Amino acid sequence: MAHLFLVPHDALFAGPLHALLDRGTPLAHRYSLSYLPALSSLRFLPKGTRPVATTDHLVVGVDFEPEAATTASLLGCPVILARQYGGRIPKGIVSTHIAAARGIVHVSGHAFFSSATPERSGFPLRSASTLGRADRLHLDDDGFFTLADLRSSRTSPTLLVLSGCSTGQHVVHPGDELAGIARVMTDLSIPSAIVALWPPSGGYTYSFFSVFYSLVRWGMPIGRAFRRATREATPILPSDSWGPLVLLGDFRPVCPIPAL
C-alpha cells in the first residue's frame, strides 16, 4: 500500500485513528498515512508530481526555540524568534513573512483552541510562560495570531506546521463540516499540514521534527518522512501520550530531490 487516507466521522475527528493496531502494529508505524476532512476531498488532491519550493520556507519560534532553530538549520531558511523582538513578535512581522512563504511554514510554540469560536484559535506571539489566564482570555490585541489572521494573510504554503498544543482540534457541524485548521486549509488551498491533537512535549517535537526535516529536505514524500519520524520519536513518550502529531491532506514531497 503506497499511502493510507483516514477519513473520520463525527466525534472520531478528535481521536487518534493512526494509533489503531494492524496485526499488532500501530497504523502510523506500518503505513504512510494522512487524514482528510471528507472523502470528497480526494478529488481535490492534485495528481502526479506537485511543484516543490526550494528556499522560500519560514520558521517562527515563539516557544521551543531549539526545535525552531534546528528546523531552520535543516531547511536553510529564515527563523523569527520571540527573543529577537524582546520576547514578543509583532503580528505585522508574522503576517508579512507568512504571506510571502510558498514552501514550508513551521510555527513552533504553544497554542490554544476555542470551541465556541474556532476562528479565534491560534498561538500567542510571546512565550507562554509570560501569559496569565487573563491574557489568554483577551484575544483581540496584537499578542495573538489566530486562524482568522491566517485566513487574512492569504498564505498558501505547500506545508503548514503548527506544532503546538491542540492545533488539530475541530468543531464538527452538521454534515461533518469542520471548523478549525482543516477548514482554513481548504479555503486557502493549503495542500498539507501537520498539527497536534493534544499537547506534545517540547522534547518530543524536537526529536520528531529533527528526523522529519532531515528526510524531507532530500525530497522524501512527507507521508513517508512522517511515518519514519513517528517511529523514531515514539520511544521518548509515555504510552498514554503516544502520537500527538497528525498529517492532514497531501502526502507527496515538498522539497525537490537535490541534484548530485
Please state, rounded to an integer, the average pLDDT across all residues of the chain: 81
Q: Is residue 257 part of a domain?
A: no
Among 92-106, 116-130, 155-169, 172-186, the minimum mean pLDDT is found in: 172-186
**Residue 260 forms part of a structural domain:** no
Q: How confident is the model at residue 175 (pLDDT cuts 50, 70, 90)?
A: very low
Decide if 254 is inside a domain: no
Q: Which domain holds residue 131?
A: 4-9+17-45+55-249
pLDDT for 48 equals 60
Is 78 in a helix, a strand, or coil?
coil
* Digit-coded pLDDT (tens) for 31-43: 999 998 777 667 6
Residue 199: pLDDT band (50, 70, 90) is confident
Residue 109 contacts residue 62 (beta carbons within 8 Å): yes
In a domain, 259, yes or no: no
| pLDDT higher than 70, residue 179 | no
Residue 224's pLDDT band (boundaries 50, 70, 90)?
very high
Long-range Cβ pairs for the range 171-176 (8 Å, 24+): 171/115, 171/118, 172/10, 172/11, 172/13, 176/9, 176/10, 176/37, 176/38
How many domains is the chain partitioned into structurally?
1
Strands 144-146, 159-162: pairing kind: unpaired
pLDDT digits (tens, 9 = 90+) for 60-77: 999 888 999 999 999 999
Between residues 222 and 234, the one the model is more confident about: 222
- Pick the closest to residue 82 from 127, 123, 122 (CA basis): 127
243 found inside a domain: yes
Write out pLDDT tens, residues 121-164. Answer: 788 898 766 665 545 545 556 788 888 888 888 888 999 999 88
Residue ranges of E strands in 141-185: 144-146, 159-162, 170-173, 177-180
| pLDDT reported for residue 38 | 73
pTM: 0.87
Q: CATH number of the domain that 157 lies in?
A: 3.40.50
The reply to whether 125 falls in a domain is: yes
Q: Which residue has the higher pLDDT, 183 or 145?
A: 145
For position 45, what pLDDT does the model report?
67
Q: Is residue 256 part of a domain?
A: no
